[in-house]
């Protein structure tokens, strides 16, 4: 008979193994589900989880999609460690892109090296401003940031639709709902000739290392952890929960905003209604898959980026619908939450006593 036993201590090996088990279970369950639905389940799973990593020509694409995921997840994870649950990174991502695009449109007929940094700064500030609203509501009125940040996402997306259909519509764009294309000075430099691999990728890696140093080596990171683990001890040690809420909300908003600007000034090169692809939500899965650790998040970002790339492959190889990508991602989160039970519990095989 199988029996659950509570572990005396949370298991550290299980903490890191559980994401791998979850990926394995997702592949297995996906295979069964899509086979049952009449697809070639085996090849579907192979296309999504294996092909993107096995074929070197896909790696650039994975990197381009991992960069925003990692950037956003870094900020979210730091907040989650402090018990600050910013679920609305998607909205901050969109607002960052809007703010950066505002600068781009205003500097349309100018040139100079300073334009791109100015856009990046605007992107960060745009994301921060959008995150400041839930932060303020939580600190001043004890309103749950989970609800407010999520609801503000829909406001941001509607605002984007309004802009690209109205005031920001490209005057030479045959009435398509999209902004002008950005100029060369407004576009992220690529770091590999003839590919989409842009400067955002090394920036995301660098920021992951900085986030790791921040969490492990500084009093600021210490404050985040204490506030999350033991709020009373944090007060006793002179750490302010309100300040930590502000700092982590603004940080995660700023990083999401930067990611949005990179996406606008990189792969898109303009704003269109197709701009919000859900990276802000997927980044939540990335953060948990990476165990809320900055270095783990790089791994998590690559896996989830792989599912986007693989989802496109599977559309052509086994004619999987586009929605399958989201399905696999959600299934991964579900499996992860389930396997995390193993961190605190273990399964023992017990003979039933007579």
Partner 1 sequence: MNQPREQEVPPRLALAHISKSFPGVKANDDISLSVRPGEIHALLGENGAGKSTLVKIIYGVQQADEGTISWNGSPVSIPSPKAARRLGIGMVFQHFSLFDAMTVIENIALGLDEAVDREALKGQVAAILQSYSLPLDPEREVHTLSVGERQRIEIVRCLLQKPKLLIMDEPTSVLTPQEVERLFATLRQIAAEGCSILYISHKLSEIKALCDSATILRGGRVVATCDPKVETTRRMAELMIGAELRRIEHGRASGAGAVRLAVSGLSLPGAPPFGTDLREIAFEARAGEILGIAGVAGNGQAELLTALSGERPATAPDAIRLDGKPIGLEGAGARRTLGLSCVPEERNGHAAVPDFSLAENGILTARHRLPLAPHGIISRGAVRRFADGVIKLFDVRTTGSAAPARSLSGGNLQKFIMGREIGQQPAVLVVSQPTWGVDAGAAAAIRQELVDLAAKGSAVVVISQDLDELLELADRLCVINEGRLSTPRPVASLGIDEIGLMMGGIHGAGEQAEAAHA
Site for partner 1, rule CB under 8 A: 8, 217-220, 222, 225-226, 229-230, 232-233, 235-240
* Of 76, 21, 9, residue with least CA distance to 252: 76
Helix/strand/coil for 276? coil
The residues near 191 (Cβ < 8 Å, ≥ 6 apart) are 197, 198, 199, 201, 202
Q: Please say which residue, 57 or 219, places its beta carbon nearer to partner 1.
A: 219
Instruction: Determine contact, residues 48/58, Cβ cutoff 8 Å.
Output: no
CB of 82: closest distance to partner 1 in angstroms? 13
Q: Please say which residue, 20 or 229, places its beta carbon nearer to partner 1.
A: 229
Q: Please say which residue, 5 or 319, places its beta carbon nearer to partner 1.
A: 5
Q: What is the DSSP letter of 111?
A: -
- If you search the block for the tokens 């590999």, which residue do you land on? 192
CB of 301: closest distance to partner 1 in angstroms? 27
Give the helix/strand (H/E) hosting 347. Answer: strand 345-349
CB of 230: closest distance to partner 1 in angstroms? 5
Q: Please say which residue, 235 or 319, places its beta carbon nearer to partner 1.
A: 235
Q: What is the DSSP letter of 47?
A: I
CB of 221: closest distance to partner 1 in angstroms? 8
The residues near 158 (Cβ < 8 Å, ≥ 6 apart) are none
CA 285, CA 268: separation in Å to the nearest integer?
A: 24
Please count the other Cβ atoms lying within 10 Å of the Cβ belonging to residue 170. 18
Q: Please say which residue, 54 or 353, places its beta carbon nearer to partner 1.
A: 353
CB of 257: closest distance to partner 1 in angstroms? 25
CB of 86: closest distance to partner 1 in angstroms? 23
Q: Please say which residue, 7 or 319, places its beta carbon nearer to partner 1.
A: 7
* Of 94, 226, 105, 227, residue with least CA distance to 173: 105
In order of 168, 184, 331, the CA distances from 74 in angstroms are 31, 29, 22
CB of 239: closest distance to partner 1 in angstroms? 8
CB of 279: closest distance to partner 1 in angstroms? 31
The residues near 50 (Cβ < 8 Å, ≥ 6 apart) are 310
Return left, alpha or beta for 291; rule: phi > 0 is left, psi -120 to 50 is alpha, else beta.
Answer: left
Q: Please say which residue, 167 or 238, places its beta carbon nearer to partner 1.
A: 238
Q: Please say which residue, 169 or 225, places its beta carbon nearer to partner 1.
A: 225
Instruction: Read off the tokens for 351.
Output: 């003979």
């Amino acid at each position: 008979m199988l029996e659950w036993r509570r572990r005396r201590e949370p298991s550290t090996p299980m903490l890191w193994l559980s994401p791998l088990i979850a990926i394995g279970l997702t592949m297995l369950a996906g295979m069964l589900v899509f086979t049952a639905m009449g697809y070639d389940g085996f090849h579907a799973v192979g296309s999504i989880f294996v092909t993107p990593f096995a074929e070197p020509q896909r790696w650039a694409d994975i990197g381009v999609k991992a960069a925003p995921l990692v950037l956003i997840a870094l900020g979210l994870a730091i907040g989650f460690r402090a018990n600050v649950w910013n679920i609305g990174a998607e909205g901050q991502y969109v607002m960052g892109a809007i703010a950066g695009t505002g600068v781009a449109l205003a500097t349309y007929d100018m040139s100079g090296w300073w334009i791109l940094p100015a856009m990046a700064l605007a992107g960060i500030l745009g994301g921060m401003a959008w995150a400041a609203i839930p932060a303020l509501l939580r600190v001043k009125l004890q309103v749950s940031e989970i609800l407010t940040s999520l609801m503000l996402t829909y406001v941001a997306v509607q605002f984007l639709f309004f802009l690209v259909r109205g005031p920001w519509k490209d005057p030479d764009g045959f009435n398509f709902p999209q902004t002008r294309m950005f100029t060369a000075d407004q576009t992220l430099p690529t770091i590999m000739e003839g590919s989409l691999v842009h400067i955002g990728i090394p920036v995301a890696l660098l920021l992951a290392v900085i986030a790791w140093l921040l969490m492990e080596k500084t009093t600021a990171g210490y404050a985040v952890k204490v506030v999350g683990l033991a709020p009373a001890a944090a007060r006793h040690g002179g750490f302010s929960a309100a300040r930590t809420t502000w700092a982590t909300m603004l940080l995660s908003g700023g990083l999401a905003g930067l990611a949005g600007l990179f996406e606008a000034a990189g792969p898109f090169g303009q704003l269109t209604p197709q701009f919000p692809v859900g990276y802000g939500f997927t980044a939540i899965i990335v953060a948990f898959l990476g165990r809320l650790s900055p270095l783990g998040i790089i791994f998590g970002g690559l896996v989830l980026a792989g599912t986007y790339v693989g989802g496109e492959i599977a559309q052509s190889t086994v004619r999987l619908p586009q929605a399958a990508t989201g399905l696999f991602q959600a299934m991964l989160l579900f499996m992860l939450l389930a396997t995390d039970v193993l961190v605190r519990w273990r399964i023992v095989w017990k003979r039933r006593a007579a």
